[in-house]
């Protein structure tokens, strides 16, 4: 993986576990085959702060940019996390 892709993958690490799961799953499934334009579009999506990004990815808001909204929908479709229906299992005795 080249340095630019490594940097993008690192930026998928966010302050919210749900965002980590969504973004990393999408990146791991598709990132290696992206064109330069697709990389740039994904990088722009990562420029959102966590609250705004979560609202986009769980469907509370939509992007005014058609291309960006398409990317948001592809991330959601690829993800192990569906919308705001997030289920995270913790070992017994922790939470």
Mean pLDDT calculated for residue range 22-37 = 92
Question: According to the model, what pLDDT value does residue 87 have?
Answer: 42
Q: pLDDT of 62-77, one tens digit each?
A: 999 999 999 999 998 8
* Domains in the chain, CATH or no CATH each: 3-78 (1.10.150.250)
Q: How far, in Å, CA of 81 to CA of 3, rounded?
A: 28
Under DSSP, is residue 27 helix (H, G, I), strand (E, B) or coil?
A: helix
Question: According to the model, what pLDDT value does residue 79 have?
Answer: 72
Q: How far, in Å, CA of 52 to CA of 56, rounded?
A: 6
Going by C-alpha positions, the residue among 44, 46, 50 that lies closest to residue 15 is: 50
Q: Which residue has the tokens 């992206």?
A: 34
Q: How far, in Å, CA of 56 to CA of 59, rounded?
A: 5
């Amino acid at each position: 993986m080249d340095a630019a892709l490594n940097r993008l993958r690192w930026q998928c690490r966010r302050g919210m576990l749900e965002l980590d799961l969504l973004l990393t799953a999408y990146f791991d499934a598709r990132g290696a085959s992206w064109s330069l334009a697709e990389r740039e579009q994904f990088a722009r999506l990562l420029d959102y702060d966590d609250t705004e990004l979560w609202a986009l990815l769980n469907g509370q808001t939509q992007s005014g940019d058609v291309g960006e909204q398409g990317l948001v929908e592809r991330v959601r479709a690829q993800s192990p996390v569906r919308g705001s229906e997030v289920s995270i299992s913790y070992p017994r005795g922790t939470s």
